[in-house]
Amino acid sequence: MQTTTQNSPLNCRNKVQHTGDFFKNWSNTALEDWAAMEHPHSYAANHTLFAEKEEGRGLYVVLDGEIRLSINSSEGRRLSLRIARKGDVLGLSSMLSGAPYDVTAETLYPAKVALIGRREFMGFLSRHPEIYMNVTEELSRNVSMACHQLRTVGLSASAPEKLARLLLEWSENDLSTSSCGRVRFSLTHEEIGEFIGASRETVTRTLSTFKHRRLVSFRGSMLEIPNRTALASYAGA
């Protein structure tokens, strides 16, 4: 894996308005102060922003694109935890504790990400102590998402249930109606299996069943869910 110490990214100077939950209800003064600290960069697909156990360099803010967060065993096995999207912040717990990163973050597609160094971040919090409430809420969301992933992988009864829940979760970011959804589907079946603790063969077989039952359909790199309720019902989600 390559880290940010190699293949230096291209600078992107345009500031992006933040819309993630972490930035809700910030004052204009805090937002302006934050923008002045940001160092946005563009990264190619499959680039490692940071790896677990690496010393924390700073807090990452996703400005555009999708970032896979995962944990890896010494034997090379990987469990993907979630996909971070625009507005998400990465490495928060490491920045607060000074501990190494506890996950690995890799770009799935070309992405724009801003980096704020730990010293800058801690100085920002000292100038804007009201943001500690947002920090607490963000850490709580991270714990809830980790518990959700563990529940899906460890307690779901079957591969169809696990995969259906994953597709439903991903499609929530691109709903066309209250009952339909679309998912950009460029991950390999092996990579999808890393999100649900299943083999490539199991993912392939399960997707084939979903397609045969018209629970999903494919259009190029997009997977469409004609009826989210039907998919959830079939898998017991």
pLDDT tier, 125 (very low <50, low <70, confident <90, very high otherwise): very high
The values of phi and psi at residue 27, to 5°, are: -75, 160
Rounded mean pLDDT of 112-140? 95
Q: Cβ neighbours of residue 116 under 8 Å, at least 6 residues apart?
A: 34, 37, 38, 39, 58, 59, 61, 124
pTM of the model as a whole: 0.78
Identify any residues that bridge with 70 across adjacent strands, giving them in sequence order.
80, 104
Top pLDDT among 72 and 5 is at 72
174 is written with which tokens?
């691109």
How deeply is 30 buried, as exposed, middle or buried, from its count of CB atoms within 10 A (0-12, 13-18, 19+)? middle
| Percent of the chain's residues with pLDDT above 90 | 55
User: Does the CA dihedral 18-195-168-149 come out positive or negative?
Assistant: negative
Give 200-231 pLDDT, tens digit per residue: 999 999 999 999 999 999 888 889 999 888 99
pLDDT of the residue at 173: 62
pLDDT of the residue at 91: 95
pLDDT of 44 above 80: yes
pLDDT tier, 156 (very low <50, low <70, confident <90, very high otherwise): low
> Considering just the CA atoms, what is the radius of gyration of the chain in Å?
19
pLDDT of 121 above 50: yes
